[in-house]
Structure 1
């Protein structure tokens, strides 16, 4: 059981044994991603799906393995000593120690909510606005993952982002798929990789400034980005939430690439042939499932933001 502090303090003491157990379970979960990534990196092996989680997203394996209990949680003992020098953490003051029944000399550390909000106020405001706006919109499920196709449209093979991967179809057939479909990509971080020839085919012009106005919950990239927003808010959010978002991002990334124009048979991944009716149906079914999972995590992130920013 955790010991709740008086309401005006807003702190909860996490017993040492519980903290040790949760930290160990966190490291075990994170290792599913970090250990294979380190092994591939050491061997000089690239993986077009899994590497994305560390090359596109900026949380290092070491930082992913750090356990954070979230805003308001108080750690003591060795865990507190370790975290005392960590960024965005602080030691409890005398009044807080008294409220929790801690001695004056006992190490006790919690996330520095006020310091984080002061230092990163613009980021917090942007994330809150973006997540809230996205959650308020219905999902759109007619893109069929064509953003990946638009990234290679009429492109020289030597200039492709994944030059080591062959295309499933010929270059001419791949271009024909793009030309046969309506493209309405709403996500800036997909759109910015479109080839110049494909840019003009997109019905929207997403920018960083308009991101909160366009992002919608059916978008696979918006769903993957829940992982980015979760770790961006560390240590105010818990590592449990970060790993839940990472699990979802990993699943989405696999479907994203299976629906792409690339041949991933060398990585034991079967294609989702979005150029066919059956492939479109398979893609949309996965997309809807991801949107449902993403909605839960988006609500959890917004709840954390609401709690820590409440006056």
Structure 2
């Protein structure tokens, strides 16, 4: 029964392959209508296909004939010998001769000019190519991830090596310093400490002077117009980053909006009077340059007074835009019960110094 089933399965698969081959041939013929080949090439190709189809059909017929023989042997009692011992021996001998005859038969393989082997090879090659493409994409992704991890590990290694090198240098300097101090007298050690402290003080003084110069420049160039605008009732410092002299000259409305700029008609004065007016500084409050300078001077004086007070409260002459700006900037703070007193915020206390 097992041999019969295997032959049936082979026959069905062969028939399915033949049908598939016929369908592929029809598709190829349709494609050939769009790109026609020469008559000789078409004739040779059709002859090879017909030969392959005949070979396959012949093989199917032979297998069906063998299947019928096996069924006939079964119907004659080859597989059912009953209780007779000699009958079973005879059946075994017949089965042996049948298997020996099958072993002597040659394998039914396609001929050398058949197109079946190239088609099978082409199908298998296509599968291998698709699997290779998938493997290449997976390997490329893995390689990219490995390269990223390698780059990160190299960066970590360089950082670790740099830290270790700096630590070794630091340890060596400390050892050298300790050895040198052990050889020095207390007076020499004290003089060295004093010298280092003086150098540090000079560096701090130089850095403080540079910071003070930068702060003064920032106040004169950037903060002064905004402070003057806030004093005139304009926007708060920081709301409008650029305030022109024309805006300061025109002033602001009660709602904090810039007034419309008017160009007054200049009277026809004598040349000497115009020169005197141009050279003599204006004493009224309409000069925008004077307003900027006054705001800058007020902030400079306020900062100097706060620095000299050393975190102690100072008395304010008036409620100005400069004092409000320092409070908003978290540089200074008002007295809890008296808004006319101001002092610097002690940052060292919050840092635990």
* TM bucket, shorter chain: under 0.3
TM-score, L = length of structure 1: 0.21
Structure with the bigger RCO (C-alpha within 8 Å, sep 6+) is: 1
TM-score, L = length of structure 2: 0.19
